[in-house]
Amino acid sequence: MKKLPQFTIGVEEEYQIIDPTTRDLRSHMSKIVDGGKIQLREQVKAEMHQSVVEVGTNICQNVQEARKEVAFLRNKISELAAQQGLIVGASSTHPFSKWQDQEITDDPRYHTIVDELKDIARSNLIFGLHVHVGIESREVALQVMNQACYFLPHIYALTTNSPFWEGRNTGFKAFRAKIFAKFPRTGLPEYFDSVQSYDNFLETLVKTNCIDNPKKIWWDLRMHPFFSTIEFRICDMCLTVEETICIVALIQAVVAKLYKLIMNNISYNVYRIALIRENKFRAARNGIEGKLIDFGKKQEVPTVDLIMELLEFIDDVVDELGSREEVNYVHQILKNGTGADQQLKVFEETQDLTKVVDFITSKFTEGI
């Protein structure tokens, strides 16, 4: 069998900047970003809300390199925040902060988005994990994108980490996607039968002033408009570095396995997006504790069973990718619960959302 390509990795994380006294979000990002620019240059940048800091790794050759970079970035942002008397956490929503209290970053790009989307943009106080996997051929990348959609709810269930919103237990393990769904051009991507039809779609949106550039396609999975990558955007922010790198390894392995099948003229089933949307909703509501639909069998099965099937599906590529240890961390997530499960446990024990914030911030640099 021909050796797999490298499948380079890029990881973007969005962090919460928190006041250690009130445990509320703090609009103090600019000082952290300005300080970070000196040492991290383009690896740190502002987001729309001033209480959000986004970081991105360099192009990583493997998951071990990605782990070093993510750990370094978390440590560095923690140091920069501490210099301002602030702390940092990783969760896709803050347990009780209100978006109305948060300042918008003074940047023409964000002013344009707010001007266009009004309170939809202002209320988008969420934090995500984005994972890029390098694929040189856009034709192959599109096939992988079409086929990988089926696995998005499985991966999403493992990352669920946004159970609270504005002081309420939402009843969802991942409420972030429900907030982001108010934006246009979000959610699962539709099926495209060719790169030409994909490009025609983007060209139509730009030509008709729906968007000014293709980066304003905010799907859960997209071919990146400027890099030779496919970008997985569905995931909630993970509490710890170990969880993040496990998800990164899982995503890289799914891409590698689908690529391998395509190179052998084998196509994984492409299911209707309307069906996969049902599984995404279930993953958001129940995380790893509920049931997803096995569309091949046309029946509900425990989410954990489908995750175990996913591990079997990718098993023949993980050793070549050198990521077995990282992928195996899935078993720890299943054992310990996702970030949402752990947040809810703290709240159940304390009935205090400030204690939930303390838990989130305590996990930020755990193990590094």
Residue 224 pLDDT > 60, yes or no? yes
Mean pLDDT on 226-240: 96
* Residue 334 C-beta-side C-alpha neighbours within 13 Å: 16
pLDDT band at 39 (very low <50, low <70, confident <90, very high): confident
Residue 330's pLDDT is: 98
Residue 258 per-residue DSSP state: H
In this structure, the number of other CB atoms found within 10 A of the CB of residue 179 comes to 19
Pure H helices in 84-151: 108-117, 119-122, 138-148
**CA atoms lying within 13 Å on the CB side of residue 296:** 6
Q: Where are the domains of the chain?
A: 9-363
Is 41's pLDDT higher than 80?
A: no
pLDDT at 170: 98
Q: What's the whole-number mean pLDDT along residues 241-266?
A: 97
For 277-296, the pLDDT digits (tens) are: 999 999 999 999 999 999 98
Residue 360 has pLDDT above 80, yes or no: yes
How much is the pLDDT for 28? 67
The helix/strand/coil state of 323 is coil
Convert the pLDDT of each residue in 60-75 to its tens digit: 999 999 999 999 999 9
Q: State residue 267's pLDDT score.
A: 85
- Give pLDDT, residue 29: 61
Query: Could you tell me the maximum CA-CA distance found in the chain, to the nearest angstrom?
Result: 58
Fold designation for 9-363: Creatine Kinase; Chain A, domain 2 (3.30.590)
Query: Using N-to-C axis directions, what is the helix angle for 241-263 and 152-159, rounded to 10°?
Result: 170
Could you tell me which of 337, 313, 311 has the C-alpha nearest to residue 324?
Answer: 311
Per-residue pLDDT tens digits for 140-171: 999 999 999 999 999 999 999 999 999 999 99
Q: Give the pLDDT score at 143.
A: 97
CA distances from 48 to 175, 290, 365 (A): 19, 33, 24
> In angstroms, rounded to a whole number, what is the distance separating the alpha carbons of residues 280 and 284?
6
Name 282's Cβ contacts closer than 8 Å, sequence gap at least 6.
153, 290, 291, 292, 293, 303
Bridge partners of residue 302, in order along the sequence: 291
| CA nearest neighbour of 18 among 46, 52, 49 | 52
Query: What is the arithmetic mean of pLDDT over 352-356?
Result: 98
Cα 229 to Cα 137: distance, rounded to the nearest angstrom: 9
Query: What DSSP character marks residue 238?
Result: P
Q: What percentage of residues in the chain have a pLDDT greater than 90?
A: 82
Give mean pLDDT, residues 290-304: 95
pLDDT of residue 1: 54
- Residue 275: the pLDDT is 96
**pLDDT > 70 fraction of the chain, expressed in percent and rounded:** 98
Judge whether residue 239 has pLDDT over 70: yes
- Does residue 83 have a pLDDT over 80? yes
